[in-house]
Structure 1
């Protein structure tokens, strides 16, 4: 993706999020220079921030997702069973824009339609080896009520509705009738190792630098913010 397109998506996404009364954290609006100067470990190491992906296929309008990681715990705490064991994201799925079929080995997540159109999820269970089971019934809680559906059934969530996806549940999703603001509350999130896709695609976009970034993406941190971390951020 061209950086100019990423910048445009960030601006459009921020306006869409604000239209629902959701206010982003202050660090969302730090410039690359300010983030580079402050270098808070709690943001960089936890990979908080903007995440615009076309899954490496350069067809964002058809295959893509807008994400912002608001908070995220540590894998070490999750293994120990105490500490910050949770994560939160705000996302945007555009009308008819596919987030492709995938599952997680570790992460359990609530996917919440926070507003807009309908959020549609295609669901499958896993075989013991992790592959898609195209015959087994799917059982998932939706707002505390267990739902049983055929393999590959489409679960449609109206605004305010949610589904809990446990590790191993295969899922793809998209928006119908309009763009959808999505909330995600989960156990610790690791986008580097815990996304298993059905197709051979990447998790992050390759960026063509045709203009300066308005904000860095989490996938920019390693290249743009190497080494040197601080542990706290001043209030200024």
Structure 2
């Protein structure tokens, strides 16, 4: 990805989040000089990887595959005394190009994916086989806002604003925009998030993108704090 693309995506995500009257913490709006000035104060932010995360999952096609994420709170699987025993994120999808996060599951994390507003989210689900492959044949049992549903593998499920779906470990999921009135804002509330070890993709993907530095960053991403 190019840094111009990342900077633009973050600015657009801020507008989409503001449009649903959702507020992020102060550090979401720090510019790069503020980050540099306060780099001695951000050990906790750095350790649990709070902050902005823009990724195309190595697709080189951010318009269609990827998202802007902001981790508001999180803990550490390796140091239980750090942070909190849960995670909360907001995820912003580009509506114009029907952006999507590719098919994956988590070994450890259970998560609620919540439509916060601006449009309709869609998600498709598959069970995983014992060896971690996609099971294209078995029906999926899933809870949405406390109610159990049985759905066909790969069936498109629409999630409207205010509603959510609970995803358990080893449940393959791909989700993104169905249609929106601008960029769609999704929430995630889960167990502790670890993006280095807990994501299993159906096809080869990179969780964090290679970045071409074609302009200065407006802020660091959550995996870039060491560069400050």
Same fold (TM over 0.5): yes
- Checking the alignment, whether the CA contact within 8 Å between 1:124 and 1:170 is kept in structure 2 is yes
CA distance in 2, matches of 1:199, 1:43: 31
1:43 alignment partner, SS class: helix
Secondary structure at the residue paired with 1:8?
Answer: helix
The answer on whether the counterparts of 1:136 and 1:151 sit within 8 Å (CA) in structure 2 is yes
TM-score (normalizing by structure 1): 0.89
Post-superposition shift, 1:77?
Answer: 5.7
What is the total number of aligned residue pairs between the two structures? 222
The equivalent residue for 1:190 is 194
TM-score when scaled to structure 2? 0.92
Q: Which runs of 5+ in 1 are unaligned?
A: 226-236
Q: Which has the higher strand share?
A: 2
Residue 215 in 1 paired to residue 219 in 2? yes
Secondary structure in structure 1 of the residue aligned to 2:124 = strand
| Ranges in structure 2 where 5+ consecutive residues have no aligned partner | none
Give the secondary-structure state (helix, strand or coil) at the position aligned to 1:16: helix
Corresponding residue of 2:206: 202
Deviation at 1:166?
Answer: 0.4
RMSD between superposed Cα atoms in Å: 1.7
Conservation of the 8 A alpha-carbon contact between 1:77 and 1:84: no
- The C-alpha deviation readout for 1:66-100, integer Å capped at 9, x for no partner, is 1000000110366x9x9821000001122311210
Aligned to 1:132: 134
Distance 1:35 1:42 in 2: 14
Q: Distance in 2 between matches of 1:38 and 1:199?
A: 39
Q: SS state of the match for residue 210, structure 1?
A: coil
Tell me the CA shift for residue 25 of structure 1. Answer: 0.3
Give SS of 1:76's match: coil
